[in-house]
């Protein structure tokens, strides 16, 4: 496919503007203006439409192919949620419109969505209150850490450390560090989960809290979770639930019932919003009753007369953590998704996600080495087999070969505690036929690694850009054109 500049024809135009009948005045300093016109491509409207339509066909997403990205829950998102999110009554609202007076009824519907989503998420997680402001999961983590810090300051506790498993998402230690805490890594036990004994050895009076993903990034549920939460509480620490893997237990179990004090939810993972490429996202944070005073301002409240308003009088609040009220359209999609599925539907989400992951694991475990064998939850983690490594085949080669076969690669080299890791999350929305096709491709790649490893090292060969020399690119960085 040619670049848009290569398609340029001198003198060709999409639109020809007539002479302006409005006097023009330039108030910009001449020194700031271009010395000559920008060298833009010259194309007709048809050329432009065809070029960008062709580019869009080369994009990869859940609407086109299977996207088994581990720990990210790249599920198919129902179009009804997209339809409602694009409704002009919601999409055309400005965040500075009044809440009540002077036409404030325009915003009452949006405020009701925020309020009722809060209520629904409380029920799903076992929390007492939510902030809808955080714009992503990592932003939710930081918000949670700031709430932990505010809680300990309010009690004049001297707390300096946060415990984080060595299998955690990388944003966990980063969020704790930004909030001012020293991160203490907790090792994973032989069974792939964190042992309470390891917690006891690291626990002391300076422990501010624990960040934990449950099930963890290995796709395993920790049966000691209640005991672990009790241990943290014994030193007046707080427990934080990383909601990236909520898809595995949604509708089945509530983090608040395990003993967690704070939880963030990736609405764009568990509750129907297309994501990728950095956004959009939403990471609402829920807290137990004793932490509600520290939630960010503002909070949507329901008044006695049935109207909704924003509450700002919160003296212990950590303040604003995002402009306005969060990514409203993402929250709206989640609201639609939850109401559409209901309690039974959300339970089925978890059931099918777990079933699909175990199906993939059982079918592939003779070809790739499970990081930890046994029943997993919503995702399974493999390591490249020793036989493949002997042939010089690595996880990256398998990922590139999957691209040639029409599948997005799974998460690679994470968790970092697994050598040559591949983390596969099929989600609940994929059919058995799709999973079987993916499994066949993975088995085919495993066999090809034995018979023709050099072929795998050249993959992908069917894409517009084939495999670059990444080592050379890193060592000979060319930024002259940037």
Percentage of the chain with pLDDT > 90?
Answer: 75
Domain contains 262: yes
Q: Which residue has the higher pLDDT, 277 or 197?
A: 197
Examine the fold and report which residue of 321, 340, 359 is the final residue of a domain before the chain moves on. 340
Domain contains 391: yes
Model confidence at 482, in pLDDT bands (50, 70, 90)? very low
Examine the fold and report which residue of 272, 306, 340 is the final residue of a domain before the chain moves on. 340
- pLDDT tens digits for 131-182? 999 999 999 999 999 999 999 999 999 999 999 999 999 999 999 999 999 9
Same domain, 132 and 181: yes
Distances from the Cα of 397 to the Cαs of 421, 426, 453, in angstroms? Answer: 12, 20, 9
Domain contains 452: yes
Q: Is the pLDDT of residue 383 over 90?
A: yes
Q: Is the pLDDT of residue 67 over 60?
A: yes
Domain contains 332: yes
Count the neighbouring beta carbons within 10 Å of the beta carbon of residue 431: 10
Rounded to an integer, the average pLDDT of 447-454 is 94
Domain count, the chain: 2
pLDDT at 473: 83
Rounded to an integer, the average pLDDT of 219-231 is 96
Among 401, 409, 404, CA closest to 463: 404
Phi first, then psi: what are they for 448, rounded to 5°?
-65, -30
Count the neighbouring beta carbons within 10 Å of the beta carbon of residue 458: 13
Same domain, 102 and 168: yes
Q: Is the pLDDT of residue 427 over 80?
A: yes
Specify burial of residue 24 (Cβ count, 10 A radius: 0-12, 13-18, 19+). Answer: exposed
Q: What span, in angstroms and rounded, lies between the C-alpha atoms of 399 and 411?
A: 9
pLDDT at 406: 92
For 262, the domain range is 80-340
pLDDT at 281: 87
Per the prediction, the chain carries an average pLDDT of 92
Model confidence at 35, in pLDDT bands (50, 70, 90)? confident
- pLDDT tens digits for 7-22? 999 999 888 888 888 8
As given in the structure block, the two tokens for residue 176 are 């704790």
Domain contains 264: yes
Same domain, 294 and 360: no
Q: What span, in angstroms and rounded, lies between the C-alpha atoms of 327 and 332?
A: 9
Q: Which of 24-28, 225-229, 256-260, 314-318 has the lowest mean pLDDT?
A: 24-28
pLDDT at 60: 83
Q: What span, in angstroms and rounded, lies between the C-alpha atoms of 454 and 449?
A: 8
Model confidence at 103, in pLDDT bands (50, 70, 90)? low
Q: Is the pLDDT of residue 279 over 80?
A: no
Model confidence at 452, in pLDDT bands (50, 70, 90)? very high
Same domain, 333 and 290: yes
Same domain, 247 and 284: yes
Q: Is the pLDDT of residue 275 over 80?
A: no
Same domain, 185 and 108: yes
The CATH number of residue 449's host domain is 3.90.1150.10
Same domain, 108 and 210: yes
pLDDT at 412: 95
3-state secondary structure the chain: CCCCCCCCCCCCCCCCCCCCCCCCCCCCCHHHCCCCCCCCCCCCHHHHHHHHHHHHHCCCCCCCCCCCECCCCCCCCCHHHHHHHCCHHHHCCCCCCCCCCCCCHHHHHHHHHHHHHHHHHHHHHCCCEEECCCCCHHHHHHHHHHHHHHHHHHCCCCCCEEEEECCCCCHHHHHHHHCCCEEEEECCCCCCCCCHHHHHHHCCCCEEEEEEECCCCCCCCCCCHHHHHHHHHCCCCEEEEEECCHHHCCCCCCHHHHCCCEEEECHHHHCCCCCCCCCCCCCCEEECHHHHHHCCCCEEEECCCCCEEEECCCCCCCCCCCCCCCCHHHHHHHHHHHHHHHHHHHHHHHHHHHHHHHHHHHHHCCCCEECCCCCCCCCEEEECCHHHHHCCCCHHHHHHHHHHCCCCCCEECCCCCCCCEEEECCCCCCCHHHHHHHHHHHHHHHHHHHHCHHHHHCCCCCCCCCCCCHHHHHHCCCCCCC
Same domain, 247 and 174: yes
Same domain, 90 and 167: yes
Q: Which residues contact 178 (CB under 8 A, 6 or more apart)?
A: 142, 145
Q: Is the pLDDT of residue 362 over 50?
A: yes
pLDDT at 460: 94
Between the ranges 36-50, 139-153, 465-479, where is the mean pLDDT highest? 139-153
pTM of the model: 0.89
Instruction: Look at the chain and count its residues.
Output: 482
Q: Is the pLDDT of residue 101 over 80?
A: no
Domain contains 299: yes
Domain contains 37: no
Domain contains 2: no
Same domain, 213 and 230: yes
Q: Is the pLDDT of residue 200 over 90?
A: yes
Same domain, 194 and 293: yes
Same domain, 179 and 224: yes
CA 89, 94, 96, 102 dihedral sign is negative
Model confidence at 104, in pLDDT bands (50, 70, 90)? low
């Amino acid at each position: 496919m040619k670049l848009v500049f290569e398609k340029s024809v001198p003198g060709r135009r999409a639109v020809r503007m007539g002479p302006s009948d409005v006097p023009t005045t330039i108030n910009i300093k001449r020194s700031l203006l271009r010395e000559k016109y920008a060298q833009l491509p010259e194309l007709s409207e048809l050329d432009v439409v065809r070029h960008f339509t062709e580019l869009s066909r080369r994009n990869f997403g859940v609407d086109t192919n299977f996207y088994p990205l581990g720990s990210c829950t790249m599920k198919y998102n129902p179009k009804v949620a997209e339809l409602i999110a694009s409704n002009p009554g919601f999409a055309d609202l400005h965040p500075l419109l009044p809440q009540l007076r002077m036409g404030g009824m325009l915003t009452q519907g949006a405020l009701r969505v925020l309020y009722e989503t809060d209520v629904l998420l409380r029920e799903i997680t076992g929390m007492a209150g939510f902030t809808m402001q955080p714009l992503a999961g990592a932003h939710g983590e930081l918000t949670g850490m700031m709430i932990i810090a505010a809680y300990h300051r309010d009690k004049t506790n001297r707390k300096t450390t946060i415990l984080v498993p060595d299998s955690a998402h990388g944003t966990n230690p980063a969020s704790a560090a930004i909030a001012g805490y020293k991160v203490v890594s907790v090792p994973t036990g032989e069974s792939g989960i964190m042992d309470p004994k390891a917690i006891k050895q690291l626990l002391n009076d300076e422990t501010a809290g624990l960040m934990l993903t449950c099930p963890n990034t290995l796709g395993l549920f920790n049966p000691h979770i209640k005991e672990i939460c009790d241990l943290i509480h014994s030193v007046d620490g707080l427990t934080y639930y990383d909601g990236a893997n909520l898809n595995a237990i949604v509708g089945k179990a509530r983090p608040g019932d395990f003993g967690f004090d704070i939880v963030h939810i990736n609405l764009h993972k568990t509750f129907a919003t297309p994501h990728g490429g950095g956004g959009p996202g939403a990471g609402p944070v829920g807290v137990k009753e004793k932490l509600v005073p520290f939630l960010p301002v503002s909070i949507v409240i329901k008044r006695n007369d049935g109207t909704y308003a924003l509450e700002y009088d919160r003296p212990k609040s950590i303040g604003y953590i995002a402009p306005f009220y969060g990514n409203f359209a993402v929250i709206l999609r989640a609201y639609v998704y939850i109401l559409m599925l209901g309690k039974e539907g959300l339970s089925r989400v978890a059931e099918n996600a777990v079933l699909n992951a175990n199906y993939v694991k059982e079918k592939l475990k003779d070809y790739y080495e499970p990081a930890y064998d046994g029943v997993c939850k919503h995702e399974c983690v493999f390591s490249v087999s020793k036989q493949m490594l002997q042939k010089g085949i690595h996880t990256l080669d398998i990922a590139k070969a999957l691209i040639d076969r029409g599948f997005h690669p799974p998460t690679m080299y994470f968790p970092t505690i697994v050598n040559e890791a591949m983390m596969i999350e099929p989600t609940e929305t994929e059919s058995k036929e799709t999973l079987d096709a993916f499994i066949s491709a993975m088995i085919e790649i495993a066999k090809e690694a034995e018979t023709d490893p050099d072929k795998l090292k050249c993959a992908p060969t069917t894409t517009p850009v084939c495999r670059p020399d990444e080592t050379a690119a890193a060592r000979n960085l060319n930024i002259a054109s940037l």
